[in-house]
Structure 1
Amino acid sequence: MEQQLDIGRFISLKKQEVGADERDAISKLEVCTQSIYRWLQYCEYHYVNLVETATESNLRFDRISAYRRAGETVSVRYVYEANIAAFLNSLHALLDSFPYLLNLFIPVKEDPESTSIKWHESFIKNYEDMDFYDELAGFLMDTTFHKVKGYVNTIKHKHLIRISNQWDHLEFEEYTYKKPCRDVQGKINFKPEPVTGENVVSFIEKCHDELIPRLFNLCESVLLFKSSELSNDL
């Protein structure tokens, strides 16, 4: 994840728009952007720990004994399982906070605490006339995003998803996510889709190297739209 996000630009552009006296709006945005920054750091921390732990040599030792690396107080299995769950939980929290950030930055709902502010077609359609709408709608249709949601909702509301050690790599045994698709009228529907035997580290690398940068690109498009709008108002 070489690309970075200048999260502070949300604050600076909002201040430029509403003025420093709008303390409530600025304060909410500050808290939200700080949280997003933290979630990004948590993702990076757990990603690095997972990659360093789930090596082929560690996995082989894990298969034949309750192996602990030097300095670890628990077995390698608990280390990689904990970092898998923590990375995906942190990523889910990061992604699910974006609609709240977007509505604070470009309000379409008067009540910023409304439960309708979420990744849903009815909410994002409020931005249909804005330049970044296609990217926003595209993110809602992203399969990797919905696999993250499916994984986290399963471990949060039902049970932990078993991780199978295949000696040289890790696999999810099975879970189900809601795969997005469009019907003939163009409306988004979701159908249950099983995930079986997917390489865990490869999936998390895809989240880290593709999904998070895709969110960064969406943020940049939103910032560019607001910056252009403010320039035109001068």
Structure 2
Amino acid sequence: MESHAGLAATPRALPYYVAFSQLLGLIAVATTGAWLGLYRGGIAWQGVLQFNVHPLCMVIGLIFLQGDALLVYRVFRNETKRTTKVLHGLLHVFAFIIALVGLVAVFDYHRKKGYADLYSLHSWCGILAFVLYFVQWLVGFGFFLFPGASFSLRSRYRPQHIFFGATIFLLAVGTALLGLKEALLFKLGAKYSTFEPEGVLANMLGLLLAGFGVTVLYILTRADWKRPPQAEEQALSMDFKTLTEGDSPSSQ
């Protein structure tokens, strides 16, 4: 694909993979809503339906929106680095807030019902993913958006930031799959093995979540699909005018 007026060319296959990831993500969110509506009574903040707020918020926040935040640097290839960083950070903020609502919902539901907290592998992985996500955002904000961090320090931290971002996303997807299986076993028990309609739909949801995660990670790990360095990168990446040393930063 040819570039225009000095703009970086977009790899030919990249838009199709991004579109496919969005299709999978949106269908996964819709399927989550359908599962909760058809077989779990819908969602509400009061009563037994409060629990259903948890899976919906986690799929939207820690999976779909987090995945989209990771793709920002692949999709927006010619916008200024600061604009892209702000969009990346805002998507993570929205994901965190929605996930926080889901977390509060399940703890509040357990408290009202007198159920135990944090005893399952799903809950342990979920708390770990949420805490790491929050810490990752705080550290990322401190290094890349908040004034003060030098360019050399940012450059040394960037590979760790990228690695932990992908790792937390993968952990979130795995945790969702654990929670989905746990919810099915609690309700269906032995009937799960008889191909109950709810079990089949939930299994399809699990495949959609896994497919979305794999597609996002594939896009992120294609070295030739990374945001390319630009001639004006050093000037564009001077977040709040704190960049005073070094060469132009490499792309994420």
Give TM-score scaled by structure 1 length: 0.47
Larger fraction in helix: 2
Compare relative contact order (CA 8 Å, sep 6+) and give the higher one, 1 or 2: 2
Larger fraction in strand: 1
Give TM-score scaled by structure 2 length: 0.44
